[in-house]
Amino acid sequence: MSNYSVDKYKLAGVDRNSAEQLKNSLASIAKSSQGTEVLSGIGGFGGLYKLANYTNPVLVSSTDGVGTKLLLGKLTGNYENLGIDLVNACLNDVIVSGAEPLFFLDYIAIGKIDQIIINQLVSGMNLACKSADCALIGGETAEMPGIYAANDFDMAGFVVGAVEQDEILNPDKINPGDTLVGMPSSGIHTNGFSLIRKVFDIENDHTILNKYSDTLGRTLAEEISEPHRSYVKETNLIKSKVKALAHITGGGLKENMPRALPSGIGAKFYRESWEVPAIFNLIQSEGNISFDEMNRVFNMGIGMVAVCDPSNLDHILKSIPNATLVGETISSPESEIII
C-alpha cells in the first residue's frame, strides 16, 4: 500500500499547511499599515514600494533585534510589546539622519509555528508601523526545528527610509557651546536585559516579575515590558532646527553620543537636569552597579538627544513639551562625554 500521502515534512517538524494559514493571517494584519505606495506587500517574493514626492532622495536603512528581552516576552506572554520594540528600535536608528521611514520587514525564526505568538508579534509591529506612517511591507517566518526548541524563537527587523540629500543632518556643523536637548525614554527600551535578569535573579525565580513594587508603582514585569519608544513624530517637528540626533541605546550616553558628534567635539551633560526613572535606581541599588556602568548599559531616562544651536532651543522645547535641556557640546580632542 502506498504511503506517498504521508506528510514527511510535517513528521520532520515543519508544517507547511500551518505556515500557509499563518501567511494569510499576517497579510491581513499588515494591510492596515500599507498606503498607495505599496504596490505588492506580504505574499510575494518581495515587497514593492513606489518612491514618490522626492527630488534627490537618499535611502537610509537599518536592522536590529530586541536582544534578550525576548526571554521576558516568553515569561510574561506579552508578545505584542516585543513587536513594537522591534519596529521602534529600527525606526529610531533611521530618523537620526533626518530620514522619514518608508517601510519595514521582519524575520521570525521559531522552533514550531505558534500562530498566537506570531500574530501577537506582528500585530505589535503593525501598530508601531501605523503610528510612524511606515508600511509593514513583508517578512519571513521560518519554522526551524533542531535549531530552536519548540517554544523558542528569535526575530530581527529591517527598515528603509528616505531623505532629500540636502536635508541630511550634518554633525560637521556642530560647534562647542551648542545645546543638547533630551527626549525622555519610556523606560528600559531594549537594552540591558541580560544584566536585569542577573540583578533580579529572574531565571531562578520568575515570581518576582509579578510582585507589586511600591518603588515602581506597578509590577516589575509591567515596568520592564514597557515598549521601546518611537521618536518619529517628535523629530519630524524639529529636524529643520537641529544639527544632529543621537538614539540612546545599548552603550548609553557614553557610547552613543559620540556617534552624533564630529571629531574634536565632546558633550557635557547636566546630571541633575532630567529625572532618572525609578527602575534605573532600583537596578543600580539591587545590583550594586557603579554609576559609570549604568551609563554604559542603559539610557538612564533619555532615549534621544538633539544637538542644536542655542537660538533654536525655545522652538524645540515648545515643539516637544516633555523635552529638556540636558547639556552642551564642548571642545574635546578625544570627544569626551561627561556625565
Residue spans per domain, the chain: 8-167, 171-338
pLDDT digits 0-9 by tens, 104-149: 999 999 999 899 999 999 999 999 999 999 999 989 999 999 999 8
The DSSP string of 304-325 is EEEEE-GGGHHHHHHHSTT-EE
Give the span between the Cα atoms of 329 and 337, in whole angstroms.
9
Give the span between the Cα atoms of 125 and 113, in whole angstroms.
18
Report whether 58 contacts 162 (CB < 8 A).
Answer: yes
* Cα 202–Cα 206–Cα 209 angle in degrees, nearest 5: 85
Handedness of CA 65, 68, 72, 73 (dihedral sign): positive
Q: Cell for 61?
A: 536603512
Report whether 300 contacts 249 (CB < 8 A).
Answer: no
CATH, range 171-338: 3.90.650.10
Give the span between the Cα atoms of 291 and 119, in whole angstroms.
40
Report whether 273 contacts 326 (CB < 8 A).
Answer: yes
8-167 and 171-338 in the same fold: no
Greater confidence (13 vs 84) lies with 84
CATH of 8-167, one of 2.60.40.420, 1.10.10.10, 3.30.2350.10, 3.30.1330.10: 3.30.1330.10
Handedness of CA 193, 194, 198, 199 (dihedral sign): negative
Greater confidence (21 vs 278) lies with 278
Question: What percent of the chain has a predicted confidence (pLDDT) above 90?
Answer: 78
- What's the pLDDT band for 30 if we cut at 50, 70, 90? low
Residues 6+ apart with CB under 8 A from 55: 164
- What's the pLDDT band for 1 if we cut at 50, 70, 90? very low
Q: Which residues face 106 on adjacent strands? A: 139, 157
Report the chain's mean pLDDT, rounded to a whole number: 91
The pLDDT value given to residue 239: 93
Burial class of residue 89, CB neighbours in 10 A (0-12, 13-18, 19+): buried
- Closest residue by Cα to residue 173 from 72, 316, 312, 8: 312
DSSP state of 260: G
Residue 176 has pLDDT above 50, yes or no: yes
The pLDDT value given to residue 17: 63
Q: Cell for 329?
A: 557640546
Residue 10 has pLDDT above 80, yes or no: no
The side-by-side arrangement of strands in the sheet containing 337-338 is 244-247, 302-308, 179-184, 324-331, 265-269, 337-338
Q: Which residues face 71 on adjacent strands? A: none
Q: What is the end-to-end Cα distance of the chain in Å, rounded?
A: 76
How far, in Å, are 17, 91, 192, 219 from residue 199 at the CA level? 43, 29, 11, 16
- What's the pLDDT band for 29 if we cut at 50, 70, 90? confident
The DSSP string of 93-149 is HHHTTTPEEEEEEEEEEESS--HHHHHHHHHHHHHHHHHTT-EEEEEEEEE-BTTB-
Give the span between the Cα atoms of 193 and 178, in whole angstroms.
33
Kindly report which listed range (53-62, 142-151, 235-244, 325-334) carries the lowest average pLDDT score.
Answer: 142-151
Give the span between the Cα atoms of 309 and 327, in whole angstroms.
12
